[in-house]
Amino acid sequence: MTTSVDNFINAKAPQLAYYVRAFWERRIPYSEVDLYFWDTMEEWTQIEAASHEPSSQRERVFWHLLHQLHFWAEDKLLDDPYLHSELKVCVDYLEGAGHFPLDCVGVRP
């Protein structure tokens, strides 16, 4: 069975938001966030995404947030108020409670 990009993003975005919030609230360690990153990347390999298929705003926010979580060190993700504020806008958007972050540059892997 083939999963579409939209179905993938719609399934994974709430999970990503949950992991980020749980990490910020120190309910889960960073290692769980990192494991989610690698599991998501592995699952993405099963998606047949045509390169010409446009990305939705939600998809761009999803990939941006996932990349940021993998790029920055654990302490920076927890303690940098500017980064936290920027990423919170992404989390809120993925949860349907915020606006599209204008500086979001997420692209498919």
Which of 28-32, 58-62, 101-105 has the lowest average pLDDT? Answer: 101-105
- The answer to the question of residue 107 being in a domain is no
- The answer to the question of residue 61 being in a domain is yes
* Alpha-carbon gap, residue 40 to 46, rounded angstroms: 10
Q: Average pLDDT for residues 76-103, to the nearest whole number?
A: 92
- The answer to the question of residue 59 being in a domain is yes
The pLDDT, as a whole number, for residue 27 is 97
Position 1: which residue type? M
* Alpha-carbon gap, residue 108 to 3, rounded angstroms: 15
- The answer to the question of residue 43 being in a domain is yes
Task: Judge whether residue 48 has pLDDT over 70.
Answer: yes
Q: How many domains in the chain? A: 1
The pLDDT, as a whole number, for residue 50 is 61
Confidence band, pLDDT 50/70/90 cuts, at residue 101? confident
- The answer to the question of residue 103 being in a domain is no
The pLDDT, as a whole number, for residue 6 is 87
pLDDT per residue over 66-87, tens digit each?
999 999 999 999 999 999 999 9
Please state the separation of Cα 2 from the chain's center in Å: 22
Domain region containing 36:
5-94
